A and B are shown apart, each in its own frame.
Chain A
Amino acid sequence: MPHLAARNLTKSFDGVRAVDQVSFAIPDGAFLALLGPSGCGKTTLLRMIAGLEDPDAGELLFDDVAVAGPRGSLPPEARRLGMVFQSYALWPHMTVRGNIEFGLKVQKLPAAERRRRIEEVLEVVGLSGHAARRPHELSGGQRQRVALARSLALRPRLILLDEPLANLDAHLRETMLAEFRRIHSMTGATFVFVTHDQEEAMAVATHVAVMNRGRLEQVGTPEDLYRRPQTESVARFIGRGRTLPVEVIGTQDGLCTVALAGGVLKVDGRAPPGPGWLCFHASDLAPAPPHGHFAGEVVNQIFQNGVYATELAPLGIEAETIGLALPDRLAPGTRIEVRLSGGWVIPREAAVSPAFAAVPPVRSPA
């Protein structure tokens, strides 16, 4: 049974659609990352889930019960969820204990139970012994942990995280990512995590929702997004993917036959015959003398991490340059043959994504 679902959620600010007809459903206990560039509407979507914004249209369901929709919406105080804010939003006039205890007092828990919960969550986030500190006496990482502890104390079944790592340095970020994963598996709660960093999203999430200009481009597992993107923009966004225009000739058993630069090759995909995009990553390319799938001319090379990162202009294909790693320095203009060892084909007019709730993501191979 899906724990959290949205149907055509829409929200505009001053006539601009921040969130546009977003639909998705994720199961209980999932770790969903809302991924996209800044201004794509992911924080607005999160705030609608929290109840801090009301949708203009559409419905939001927790366990199949509408919490926001045409019949009104449940205020955040009644939604029983946890949230970690980008600024952490620790109440500066309260100690760490006071910050955690406030919500427990609101819920009228007895003192002994409150004390037990505070000890428990501080233990979980590794801050036992810091209960009497005030937020300004803590480091950034510690504040982050207090914010997390505060939302865990109420034992919500849904925890929202709004760019929680944005204000931390790179090292702390890795540590906190591991913490989030550990706490997620420990509590079994559903997590929704907003980020603009795909590596963060891929590292922690069971499901990633890619947003762009208020629309949901694709929801799927990290492997789905990497290997089987559904739109060109997802293909180019995830893992710095590349796309080449191809002509799909036939499709059978999940394999497409495509025409590329005068040659013909078979690639995974389900595009109908007609114009298509061949989606791949730099790691799918390798030089293949004397004959590969297509050829290109070296435009530029830089020496990086022990190899020559090479920019290649494909020959006979209307496309911008593509990148691949080569072991040798080559003069600009050198022609090399390239082989494609993976890839994924999608229809070319697939600019508008289908409603994702209706299209189950393809299961990743075991």
Chain B
Amino acid sequence: MAAETARPRPAPPRPTPPRPRRAGRSGGGERALLLLVFAYVALTTLWPLAKLFAAALQPGEDGSPLGLMAEVLASRATARALWGTLATSGLSVMLSTVLGVGLAFAVGLIRLRGRTALVFLILTPLLIPSQTMALAWIELAGAHSPILGALGLAPAPGTANPLYSVSGIALVMGVEHMPLVFLATRAALRAVPADLVEAARVIGVPGPRIAAGIVLPLVAPSILAGALLAFTAAIGNFGVPALLGIPGRVSVLTTLIYQRLNGFGPSAAGQVAVLALVMAALAGLALALRGLALRRLAAPLPAGRPLEPTRSSPAGEVVLWLVVAMIAVVPLAALVMTALMPAVGVRFGWETASLAQFAAVIANAAVRRAFANSLLLALACAGIAVAVSVPFAYLVARRPGRLVRALDLAVEAPWVIPGTVVALGMILAFLPPLPGLGVSLYGTLAILLVAYLARFLPLVLRPVTAAAQTADPSLEEAARIVGAGLARRLAFVFLPGVLPAAVAGALLVVMTALNELTLSALLWSSGHETIGVMVFALQYEGNSTAAAAVAVLSTTLLFGLCALANAGARWLPERILPWRQ
């Protein structure tokens, strides 16, 4: 060899290199990480869901295979609840779709002032927890309505609230899930290149024909996908049918499960597991159809300058604000006014308004405990979700094996299937004493935490994984080259890159978990109430002014968090906060 090309140098004493070890690329550290993530997912997700399946598929009393399932499916109560679920969900989706598509087209095509504020208001029905939404609408439409009463339109005292019906449930759920269709449609509209519309305008096609003939067909698959998402949400909704359907004797699957478990205790777990499986199947079907709609129907669009609203329409603007006021502002106003009433039935007016209800609920130890519990749960859940998501996302983005991909898919399940199903899985898995420890998690705050973790992990994992996948992998490779081991790379190189996404995800978890009801309603125990349970219980007892006061307090807390997120928005990744685009 041409050794002369190198300058002769005294050979420095060389340290003996470490022995090669097997499989340098996927080192032992990464395997340990994978094992930890697997154990976490198995405990919070796989085991509870497996228990649920096992319970639903157990033989009947006579020992016939799948006998329990046959029994439950044949019962009249099941048929009624299934019909109730399909009717309320179906009707609500129609309303969600009409409202969501209309608002998305208006916001996307009309030049508007205060667009961000308007979009935020359109999204409030989704941000506000469903029990609060339901309560607000009850107060708005009821005999003691402070707003309809002032207008002389309130139903006569003594008559039932008109919302305690199938159409009432559909109305409130339709408004609550409208933002899902709105967001899907709006995203699709922004992907339509402006030149497709301009080409039509140049050959003289009038505006409405362009909207109906060109833009609508292009965004139709996304609308369908959004509508199916709204349908999934409606099937799993507990807060609205619980507050409107139980007094109105409208049975749906979520409330039937709740009532069975409340009435018969854990002995009914097998029966309700069958109902939960039915719900999961409905949701799974809707989500499969959604995937199909997005893959098969959507035409690939060329990239281009996005469609910007060009024309102003003062009349349209007025109508838009009126609609938004009706769905977002008026019900909340009714809720606030109810909270300001000294007692149920007192006519609302400036001279009668008082903060007495607020003082009373704040003085109530159970309410204070509920706020403390919910805050603790939300913060702990957000913190743990971040701690799990960072290494999880590292594995998904950098070492995607078959197991990692399967886990990544599995953690999605508790978020997309109805919360009631998840809660039931938790009861079945954690009611028996933990093997080896002899303690049961049921009746403690821990079971709520595990359930929240299972359900809300995707809210952090999705943005963190997305950030990890767009980051340059050579940043970590460069750290390996200078000798940094896995723990150090995760802490000093990977984490700083995904931190904004993790913070944004954690904020979403806190906002969602703070007012959680569906899981809490089945898993709470005395001393371990949450805010959602408190609102529900107060309303159930007939103390609607106190319920309203608690709901107003928790909503204020929620809006405070939104404001915090908004103020920090420039440090967060784009498109994480749904109202900022």
A interface list, Cβ under 8 A from B: 2, 25-30, 50-54, 62-63, 65-69, 71-83, 85-87, 89-93, 102-103, 106-107, 150-151, 154, 185, 188, 206-207, 221, 360-361, 363
In the assembled complex, the CB of A357 is this many whole angstroms from the nearest CB of chain B, namely 9
| Contact of A2 with B21 at beta-carbon distance under 8 Å, contacts A29-B9, A102-B484, A103-B483 already known | no
Cβ–Cβ contact B483 & A68, under 8 A: no
Cβ–Cβ contact A29 & B6, under 8 A: yes
Cβ–Cβ contact B484 & A74, under 8 A: no
**28 residue pairs bridging A and B, Cβ less than 8 Å apart:** A27-B2, A27-B3, A29-B6, A67-B20, A71-B22, A72-B21, A73-B24, A76-B481, A77-B481, A78-B18, A78-B483, A80-B483, A83-B481, A85-B477, A87-B472, A87-B474, A89-B474, A91-B475, A91-B479, A92-B475, A93-B496, A102-B482, A106-B488, A151-B482, A206-B2, A207-B5, A221-B2, A361-B1
Cβ–Cβ contact A50 & B481, under 8 A: yes
B2: chain A residues within 8 A (beta carbon): 27, 206-207, 221, 361, 363
B21: chain A residues within 8 A (beta carbon): 72-75
Is B98 at the interface (CB under 8 A from chain A)?
no
Which chain B residues numbered 231 to 270 have a C-beta less than 8 Å away from chain A?
A: none
| Contact of A68 with B20 at beta-carbon distance under 8 Å, contacts A85-B474, A361-B2 already known | yes
Bound complex: CA A102 to CA B483 (Å): 10
Bound complex: CA A81 to CA B477 (Å): 12
B496: chain A residues within 8 A (beta carbon): 91-93
Cβ–Cβ contact A74 & B24, under 8 A: yes
Bound complex: CA A85 to CA B6 (Å): 25
A107: chain B residues within 8 A (beta carbon): 482-483
B472: chain A residues within 8 A (beta carbon): 87, 89
Interface residues contributed by chain B, number (CB under 8 Å): 34
Partner of B7, one of A51, A74, A93, A188: A188
Bound complex: CA A89 to CA B7 (Å): 31
Bound complex: CA A87 to CA B475 (Å): 9
Cβ–Cβ contact B7 & A150, under 8 A: no
Bound complex: CA A36 to CA B286 (Å): 52
In the assembled complex, the CB of B9 is this many whole angstroms from the nearest CB of chain A, namely 6
In the assembled complex, the CB of B471 is this many whole angstroms from the nearest CB of chain A, namely 10
Closest 3 CB pairs of A and B: A103-B482, A29-B6, A72-B22
In the assembled complex, the CB of A99 is this many whole angstroms from the nearest CB of chain B, namely 9
In the assembled complex, the CB of A46 is this many whole angstroms from the nearest CB of chain B, namely 11
Is B23 at the interface (CB under 8 A from chain A)?
yes
Bound complex: CA A163 to CA B496 (Å): 27
Cβ–Cβ contact A66 & B20, under 8 A: yes
A92: chain B residues within 8 A (beta carbon): 475, 496-497
Cβ–Cβ contact A75 & B480, under 8 A: yes
In the assembled complex, the CB of A26 is this many whole angstroms from the nearest CB of chain B, namely 7
Q: Other CB < 8 Å A-B pairs besides A75-B21, A75-B25, 11 of them?
A: A51-B25, A53-B25, A54-B24, A71-B22, A78-B483, A80-B483, A91-B478, A188-B6, A206-B6, A361-B1, A361-B2
Cβ–Cβ contact A150 & B5, under 8 A: no
In the assembled complex, the CB of B557 is this many whole angstroms from the nearest CB of chain A, namely 32
Bound complex: CA A30 to CA B3 (Å): 8
Cβ–Cβ contact B484 & A54, under 8 A: no
Is B17 at the interface (CB under 8 A from chain A)?
yes
Bound complex: CA A74 to CA B485 (Å): 13
Cβ–Cβ contact B475 & A2, under 8 A: no
A83: chain B residues within 8 A (beta carbon): 477-478, 481
Partner of A102, one of B5, B22, B492: B492
Cβ–Cβ contact A26 & B1, under 8 A: yes
- Map CB proximity to A onto B1-34 as digits: 1 under 8 Å, 0 otherwise: 1110111010000100110111111010000000
Bound complex: CA A357 to CA B496 (Å): 45
Cβ–Cβ contact A51 & B6, under 8 A: no
A80: chain B residues within 8 A (beta carbon): 483
